[in-house]
Amino acid sequence: MTRSRLAIVNRGSIALAAGDPFSAPLPGSEVVALNIARAFADRGAIVTYYGLSAAGTRVPRVAIEPVSALPRLPDGDDLTVLWLRDYATTVPDVALPSARHVLLTEDSANDLRAIFRSDLATVASHVRSALPRYDATVFASRWHRDDWGERLGLDPHSSVVVHNLAAHVPWRDRPATVPTRVVHTSHPRKALAAVIAIARLTDLDVTVSAHPSLYQDDHCRVIHPDGSGGWVDRGRFADVAAASPWTRFTAPRPVAEMAAFLDGFDILLHPDYTEETGATTVIEALRRGLLPVVSDRGALPELVGNAGLVIDGDSWTADYACRCADALAALTSSDMERYGAARAGRRADLGDESIVAQWAQVLCLDEGKA
């Protein structure tokens, strides 16, 4: 059955900015959710986003409502509800038995251990009890789905893999040149310590465009890299930045400016140690013609394919920093040309047309034409 209404529910703590929410920086999950909202509103669906927002938040053809208005949402078999990272077993005062319910998760099993501050067995029990709420669960990569299957005991029935939609960054081809400019754009919890260690060893210009204020924090809290779960507090972000003079730090860019910002760089450096599931930052870089240089953790090898440089090993170690700096120094214009040719093949998987078609199928919405 094709449905005509889409409600996107975000019960998290991230508030959308006034005006166009893409005029400010946003975490990847919210960016993906709003890209989905915009895509299907442009294709004729009646779309409402329920979540925190400032007064005057406006998204073209998308209604913005607080979560408190959700109980007033009319039920019907024309409605699909997309729940963003919502692992509650029940939602009080919300009864929509005729609607289709879909969970969009961006969290790895290790992420969930940190979020719930609990052991893996407890997390697995909770998540498995929450999943019956949903008609389908959407994962950001095959690695992500398999991680839940292996560590949380997920039954793959009704699970779907759809890569993150990064429609705010148009595809761009660029000529191959010897790379000189490196950028890191992810949240500091994911790879900052490794980026700083690598920057110290390379002659390339390394810029970090990130800040934990994106998650309403000022500390560098990272998921423990050895897989034991929980958080490690590296101290105030400002202190970490001040102690790293060989790295240029800039504020996170508004979503709407990300494409233009990325045009100033050749390489995206993302030596992640937290098991990325969807890596919107890497997809943005591929779409804008940058070469991703990444670790082999989580879904990064799957997303990059042969269009980037995957350096294996434990990215928080001194040996890794040395090997990564050497690999950066060895890159030539011929290497960049080869990786650029491979990047064209990633468009079939990471382009808007493919991803919107997959979302249309799982949400049971008309794919239409934008």
* CA 281/CA 279 separation, integer angstroms: 5
pLDDT at residue number 35: 98
pLDDT at residue number 218: 74
Residues 122 and 211 in one domain: no
Structural domain of 34? 5-167+351-363
Residues 280 and 338 in one domain: yes
DSSP letter, residue 75: P
Between helix 142-152 and helix 120-130 the angle, nearest 10°, is 110
Residues 185 and 255 in one domain: yes
As a whole number, mean pLDDT of residues 105-124 equals 89
Give the number of domains in the chain.
2
| Residues in the chain, total | 370
As a whole number, mean pLDDT of residues 327-349 equals 93
Chain segment 198-231, per-residue pLDDT in tens: 999 999 999 999 877 776 677 777 666 655 555 6
Q: Which tokens hold the place of 91?
A: 């939602």
Residues 37 and 144 in one domain: yes
Q: How confident is the model at residue 368 (pLDDT cuts 50, 70, 90)?
A: low
Residues 336 and 206 in one domain: yes
What CA–CA distances, in Å, run from 222 to 188, 190, 231, 273, 311?
Answer: 7, 6, 5, 9, 21
Structural domain includes residue 101: yes
Residues 108 and 185 in one domain: no
As a whole number, mean pLDDT of residues 239-245 equals 86
pLDDT at residue number 288: 96
Q: How confident is the model at residue 140 (pLDDT cuts 50, 70, 90)?
A: very high
| Beta partners for residue 71, in sequence order | none
Chain segment 48-96, per-residue pLDDT in tens: 999 999 999 999 999 999 999 999 999 999 999 999 999 999 898 898 9
Residues 339 and 356 in one domain: no
Residues 232 and 355 in one domain: no
pLDDT at residue number 92: 86
**Higher pLDDT, residue 212 or 35:** 35
